[in-house]
Amino acid sequence: MSRSEFYTRGAELLLARTDAATVTARIDLVVEYAGEQDASHAAAVAAGRAVLVDGGAQDAW
């Protein structure tokens, strides 16, 4: 059995033993969390734009 087959079989067994609604709820939670943006997002965008506009001043960081 290859490693891929091993992990595939493990995932199949886990899904078979877990209630479908529970799996869906967990996936929805992860998707919601991954889509959130915190304050660091705005700061990173501003820094990137500064680099593009003025070549990134040496004291920008």
Q: Give 2-56 pLDDT, tens digit per residue.
A: 999 999 999 888 888 877 778 788 888 887 887 666 777 788 888 888 887 776 5
Give CA–CA dist 50/56, Å, rounded.
6
Own/partner pairs, 10-19, CB within 8 angstroms, 24+ separation: none
pLDDT, residue 6, reads: 93
- For the entire predicted model, the pTM comes to 0.34
pLDDT, residue 29, reads: 84
Q: What band does 59 get if pLDDT is binned at 50, 70 and 90?
A: low
Is the separation of the CB atoms in 50 and 57 below 8 Å?
yes
In the chain, where the domains are located: 3-60
How is residue 58 annotated by DSSP?
G
How is residue 1 annotated by DSSP?
-
Is the separation of the CB atoms in 51 and 60 below 8 Å?
yes
Give CA–CA dist 32/27, Å, rounded.
9
